[in-house]
Amino acid sequence: MRLLSSLLLAGLLAGGLTTAQAQTAPASFKTDSLTLRKIYDEALLRGQSYENLRYLCEKIGGRLAGSPQAAQAVAWGKLTMEKAGCFDKVYLQECQVPHWVRGAKEKGEIVGNKGKRISVAVCALGGSVGTGGKLRAGVVEVKSLAEFKALPDAAVRGKFIFFNRPFDDALIEPGAAYGGAGDQRRSGPAEAGRRGAVGALVRSLTSAHDNYPHTGATAYGDTPTKVPGAALSTMAADQLSQLLKADPSLQFELEMSCQTLPDVTSYNVVGEVRGSKYPDQFITVGGHLDSWDLAQGAHDDGTGIVQSIEAVRLLKAAGLRPERTVRAVLFMNEENGTRGGNKYADLAKQNNETHVAAIESDGGGFTPRGFNVESTPAVFKKVAAWAPLLAPYHADKLTPGHSGTDIEPLVAAVHPTALFGYDCDSQRYFDLHHTAADTFDKVNRRELELGGASMAALIYLLAKYNLQ
Amino acid sequence: MRLLSSLLLAGLLAGGLTTAQAQTAPASFKTDSLTLRKIYDEALLRGQSYENLRYLCEKIGGRLAGSPQAAQAVAWGKLTMEKAGCFDKVYLQECQVPHWVRGAKEKGEIVGNKGKRISVAVCALGGSVGTGGKLRAGVVEVKSLAEFKALPDAAVRGKFIFFNRPFDDALIEPGAAYGGAGDQRRSGPAEAGRRGAVGALVRSLTSAHDNYPHTGATAYGDTPTKVPGAALSTMAADQLSQLLKADPSLQFELEMSCQTLPDVTSYNVVGEVRGSKYPDQFITVGGHLDSWDLAQGAHDDGTGIVQSIEAVRLLKAAGLRPERTVRAVLFMNEENGTRGGNKYADLAKQNNETHVAAIESDGGGFTPRGFNVESTPAVFKKVAAWAPLLAPYHADKLTPGHSGTDIEPLVAAVHPTALFGYDCDSQRYFDLHHTAADTFDKVNRRELELGGASMAALIYLLAKYNLQ
């Protein structure tokens, strides 16, 4: 692209309401429009979230609940909030969290009937039991839990069940494909153990064709027999599937020394700005401080964390004091327990708090699209009226939909008026999700800062206007 | 992010019109909606553009007009169109193109007054004259052409003029910042030479803070004295600026062996599908086949090229024969001459062709947002009515605005009814633009394929409906 097109665009896209929008919008929208521009200016010109994320990713790194790194992240979160200079108080909320550790041994090999061994990329699923030494067995491939359930007991007993359902690439949202294929990871090992299989091998939950295995939580529920569950990279899964076609009697050898240790004390980190008019009405903004252990947890969910702190800082830097109380919350243990989210909701209920709204950012730090909204249709209509204010920033897609795992427990506990999930460009998220590739260098500074500014803009509007 | 949110979203985002949209839309929209879904399915499940791009980037690479690689790219383009199996005919359009070569020597050093030398990242601007050996002089820093023009002759004579205007990061569109800062690259060397300076050093046109110098065309116009122009990486520019503050008498030494050779014969590559009802009405879709020489020209504009071929293939694969004639055009020499774009328009005029519409993709292969539209307000209104059809794919942002450099000459030549510029997520484009970092690995498969599908969808609608 050369210069001319950009010159012509410059005038059109400098931000602010269009003339037509300004004419039809309520009078207060003009003030709001100027306020939002201040927020985005601060984010883009003097944003702090990118450098905060660099520290979290590169100095602390992967921080699964219960790990020493998670404890470091709690201390870092508290300090970072204090240094942001925008909170009236910063404090911790204690909770007990599960403590699963990967262990040093993690190896998978395809073993041919002539003893030929091919090492493939595997990782333990979070929460899996270990193999107790080397575990070797034949492999039965299925594409779904239903297909597995239809197999006779004799076919599955003593085998590895290889759940090889790929993402449905035709879906526009990779998150929808994740939803569709995810049961094999979540329930595959439990179902395999229930029927006498020795373990589960699960195709990584991604559209990407590469050699990263994707971890993530698996749950045994009330299964009497817990068998190990491992993720295979998509390349490894394709290779195993192909070799199985040629030799259905091949074996797989898995060795994993992962284990679950006793629960550990950990914390949510909370920063609070007291509302100027309605201090007893709360607006929460948050992401999750824990991450899987394989990488730096950059997009999942370091970006949500630093955006949540930044959103509150942007309000202050733009000279705004919210009329309602705003809390930034760094939730602990989203990935394998939601103990932090549950604790936050429990305390809110216990303290009889009135929660107006909550926003969660846990879909990566990519270019904003807008927000998913959980509310009544009447409340949604009020929120949707804000779209023109967000349009200059391409953050005006307001869609009824799910908000987030950590703020969801608030619904039953304190019945907030509306919950919001930050919605951003979703195409790359599952390339990185729960893998060693989820690192700081995958985050673009401007995309991240635009997200934090969009969250700040929504908080500003929520703190000013009565949604009910 | 865990599983629950995605499961809930799956239902909402599976594509197609919402119930409300379907109820208010014209009856034909239902058919159109299903047709678009077929197009996107083909792209996402069996898309070919990503592998085509891999070949172009990794086997041919940088392909500036006049270079042997540009000739290879022409042959590749013709073959790729023929292999796509969707065109009735594939042919070349001859044009003469400029032939500028970078040369082997390209070096910049800051020289302190005690002789200390610091090597910095520089590259010649496209079209620049060489230095004829080592060129050493003092440096005068300015932030704009206006500031330069206000300086007395004595201050600039015999110096390097260091144009150090940064991107305006507050602008939401990096393209607008490019527009704002771009005159220093385009005209800086010409203006410097006009006033007796020995050369121009230009801050790279990007928001990124890294060590990649960004090349791009500079033009001397009728300047009697041509002096060399070089881009400095933003890190180099910041370093030079800082050192100048400490020591205004420091010098810069530049050595570049670039030169302009005689014009060369080259070609646009054109693939054509004859319209079933209105074969004499043309719809053009294209990108530019040439790229700067420093890298692989992946996002600029390999993605536009492979999307243009793919858009036509998708139509055929979805079982559609367009009612109007569709031409995919791989334009030659967009980067430093637009000779291909001009030739295409000249031939269209010469042949008295009726051009209904043209689409250009030259803003990178990122996630779709929609299209910029150049047309009368009445035509724009018709186009805007298609937004609900594109909404399930997040490609529904239809905005009056500039289309593209290569299709623009059609306006004066044959007065097309509407021109379109493919509009996609723009935040990362200028991190890579015209640098060694613009490589294949920066392109995401799904983002690329969604773009090609969006272009195919627009062609389908343009070929079916009368815009006038």
Q: What number is the average pLDDT over the span B312-331?
A: 97
- Write the CB contacts of A28 (distance below 8 Å, at least 6 apart in sequence): none
Domain endpoint, select from A225, A257, A289: A257
- Looking at the fold, whether B214 and B287 belong to one and the same domain comes out as no
Does residue A14 register a pLDDT over 50? no
Which pLDDT score is estimated for A320? 95
Which pLDDT score is estimated for A165? 98
Q: Which residues pair with B342 in a beta bridge?
A: none
Q: Read off the tokens for B36.
A: 């678009």
- Looking at the fold, whether B185 and B149 belong to one and the same domain comes out as yes
Could you tell me the sign of the dihedral formed by the alpha carbons of B291, B297, B299, B304, in that order? Answer: positive
Does residue B9 register a pLDDT over 60? no
CB contact under 8 A, A9 and B179: yes
Contacts of B12 in chain A (CB under 8 A): 399-401
Query: In angstroms, what CA-CA distances link B414 with A323, B331, B459?
Result: 58, 18, 19
- Looking at the fold, whether B29 and B90 belong to one and the same domain comes out as yes
Confidence category of residue B24, pLDDT binned at 50, 70, 90? low
Question: Interhelix angle for A445-464 vs A28-46, to 10°?
Answer: 150
CB contact under 8 A, B401 and A9: yes
Burial class (CB in 10 A: 0-12, 13-18, 19+), B8: middle
For residue B6, is it within any domain? Answer: no
Q: How many CA atoms lie less than 13 Å away from A293 in the CB half-sphere? A: 21
Q: Are A266 and A74 in contact (CB under 8 A)?
A: yes
Confidence category of residue B5, pLDDT binned at 50, 70, 90? very low
- Which of B5, B15, B403 is closest, CB to CB, to A405? B5
Q: What is the CATH number of the domain that holds B177?
A: 3.50.30.30
Which pLDDT score is estimated for A441? 97
Q: Please write the tens of the pLDDT for every residue from B379-398.
A: 999 999 999 999 999 999 99
Cα–Cα dist B171/B177, whole Å:
6
- Looking at the fold, whether B244 and B222 belong to one and the same domain comes out as yes
For residue B243, is it within any domain? Answer: yes
Confidence category of residue A11, pLDDT binned at 50, 70, 90? very low
**Smallest CA–CA distance from A401 into chain B, residue:** B9
- Which of B176, B216, B392 is closest, CB to CB, to A13? B176
Cα angle vertex B363, ends B360, B365, to 5°? 95
Confidence category of residue A24, pLDDT binned at 50, 70, 90? low
Q: Are A406 and A421 in contact (CB under 8 A)?
A: no
Could you tell me the sign of the dihedral formed by the alpha carbons of A402, A408, A413, A417, in that order? Answer: negative
Q: What number is the average pLDDT over the span B310-326?
A: 97
Longest dimension (CA), chain B: 79
Q: Please write the tens of the pLDDT for every residue from B401-422.
A: 999 999 999 999 999 999 999 9
For residue A335, is it within any domain? Answer: yes
Q: Please write the tens of the pLDDT for every residue from B170-190.
A: 999 999 999 999 999 999 999
Q: Please write the tens of the pLDDT for every residue from B192-236.
A: 999 999 999 999 999 999 999 999 999 999 998 999 999 999 999
- Looking at the fold, whether A163 and A232 belong to one and the same domain comes out as yes
Q: Please write the tens of the pLDDT for every residue from A161-202.
A: 999 999 999 999 999 999 999 999 999 999 999 999 999 999
Torsion of CA B273, B279, B281, B282, to 10 degrees: 10
For residue A165, is it within any domain? Answer: yes
Does residue A111 register a pLDDT over 70? yes
CB contact under 8 A, A13 and B172: yes
- What ipTM did this prediction achieve? 0.93
**Smallest CA–CA distance from B171 into chain A, residue:** A14
Q: Which residues of A161-200 are buried (b: 16+ CB within 10 A; e: fewer)?
A: bbbbbbbbbbbbbbbbbbbbbbbbbbbbbbbbbbbebbbb
Q: Are B187 and B145 in contact (CB under 8 A)?
A: yes
Q: Please write the tens of the pLDDT for every residue from A423-438.
A: 999 999 999 999 999 9
Best mutation target among B39, B167, B172 (most A Cβ atoms within 10 Å) is B172
Cα–Cα dist A225/A136, whole Å:
17
Confidence category of residue A22, pLDDT binned at 50, 70, 90? very low
- Looking at the fold, whether B179 and B218 belong to one and the same domain comes out as yes
- Looking at the fold, whether B275 and B244 belong to one and the same domain comes out as no
Cα–Cα dist B115/B120, whole Å:
15
Side chain identity at residue A257, one-letter code: S
- Looking at the fold, whether B119 and B96 belong to one and the same domain comes out as no
Which pLDDT score is estimated for A412? 98
Q: Read off the tokens for B304.
A: 């536009």
Q: What distance in Å separates residue B21's CA from the closest CA in chain A?
A: 14
Q: Please write the tens of the pLDDT for every residue from A383-432.
A: 999 999 999 999 999 999 999 999 999 999 999 999 999 999 999 999 99
| Average pLDDT value for chain B | 94
- pTM metric for this prediction: 0.94
CB contact under 8 A, A179 and B402: no
Query: In angstroms, what CA-CA distances link A190 with A141, A186, A219, A404?
Result: 16, 8, 7, 25
CB contact under 8 A, A446 and B362: no
CB contact under 8 A, B5 and A425: no
For residue A14, is it within any domain? Answer: no
Q: How many CA atoms lie less than 13 Å away from A449 in the CB half-sphere? A: 23
Q: Read off the tokens for B249.
A: 């008498």
| Average pLDDT value for chain A | 94
Contacts of B408 in chain A (CB under 8 A): 4
Cα–Cα dist B18/A467, whole Å:
26
Q: What number is the average pLDDT over the span A12-33?
A: 59
Q: Are A102 and A330 in contact (CB under 8 A)?
A: no
Q: Please write the tens of the pLDDT for every residue from B237-285.
A: 999 999 999 999 999 999 999 999 999 999 999 999 999 999 999 999 9
Q: Length of chain B, please?
A: 468
The DSSP 8-state label assigned to residue B441 in this structure reads G
Return the beta strands (E) in B257-367 as ranges.
Answer: 259-273, 278-288, 324-331, 354-360
Best mutation target among A4, A5, A419 (most B Cβ atoms within 10 Å) is A5
Separate counts of helices (H) and strands (E) for chain B: 17, 16
For residue B410, is it within any domain? Answer: yes
- % pLDDT > 70, chain B: 94
Cα angle vertex A463, ends A460, B1, to 5°? 70
**Smallest CA–CA distance from B3 into chain A, residue:** A179
Side chain identity at residue A465, one-letter code: Y
Q: Which residues of A345-372 are buried (b: 16+ CB within 10 A; e: fewer)?
A: bebbbeeebebbbbbbbbbbbbbbbbbb
Q: Is the peptide bond before B301 cis (omega within 30 degrees of 0)?
A: yes
Q: Which residues pair with A93 in a beta bridge?
A: A268
Q: What number is the average pLDDT over the span B459-463?
A: 97
- Which of A2, A207, A216 is closest, CB to CB, to B217? A2
Q: Read off the tokens for B5.
A: 């949110």
Q: What number is the average pLDDT over the span B88-116?
A: 96
For residue B335, is it within any domain? Answer: yes
For residue B12, is it within any domain? Answer: no
Cα–Cα dist A296/A435, whole Å:
9
- Write the CB contacts of A212 (distance below 8 Å, at least 6 apart in sequence): A121, A204, A206, A233, A435, A436, A437
Q: What number is the average pLDDT over the span A352-377?
A: 98
- Looking at the fold, whether B291 and B366 belong to one and the same domain comes out as yes
Burial class (CB in 10 A: 0-12, 13-18, 19+), A154: exposed
Confidence category of residue B19, pLDDT binned at 50, 70, 90? very low
Which pLDDT score is estimated for B468? 83
Domain assignment of residue B360, given as a range = 19-100+262-464
Backbone angles phi, psi at A410, to 5 degrees: -65, -30
Number of independent structural domains in chain A: 2
Cα–Cα dist B369/B453, whole Å:
12
- Looking at the fold, whether A303 and A235 belong to one and the same domain comes out as no
Range among A82-91, A111-120, B108-117 with highest mean pLDDT value:
A82-91
The DSSP 8-state label assigned to residue A171 in this structure reads S
Q: What distance in Å separates residue A394's CA from the closest CA in chain B?
A: 9
- Looking at the fold, whether A86 and A216 belong to one and the same domain comes out as no
- Looking at the fold, whether A378 and A338 belong to one and the same domain comes out as yes
Contacts of B16 in chain A (CB under 8 A): none
Side chain identity at residue A42, one-letter code: E
Q: How many CA atoms lie less than 13 Å away from A420 in the CB half-sphere? A: 31
Cα–Cα dist A134/A125, whole Å:
17
Which pLDDT score is estimated for B442? 97
Does residue A333 register a pLDDT over 50? yes
Which pLDDT score is estimated for A468? 83
Three-class SS state of A135: strand
Q: What is the CATH number of the domain that holds B82?
A: 3.40.630.10
Does residue B1 register a pLDDT over 80? no
Which pLDDT score is estimated for B25? 59
Provide DSSP, B217-257: B---TT-SS---EEEE-HHHHHHHHHHHHH-TT-EEEEEE-
Cα–Cα dist A297/A54, whole Å:
11
Q: Read off the tokens for B280.
A: 């004499």
Domain endpoint, select from B208, B239, B257: B257
Q: Which one has a higher pLDDT value, A268 or B17?
A: A268
Q: Please write the tens of the pLDDT for every residue from A232-281.
A: 999 999 999 999 999 999 999 999 999 999 999 999 999 999 999 999 99
Contacts of B300 in chain A (CB under 8 A): 1
Does residue B304 register a pLDDT over 50? yes
Q: Read off the tokens for A316.
A: 């202050």
Domain endpoint, select from B211, B234, B257: B257
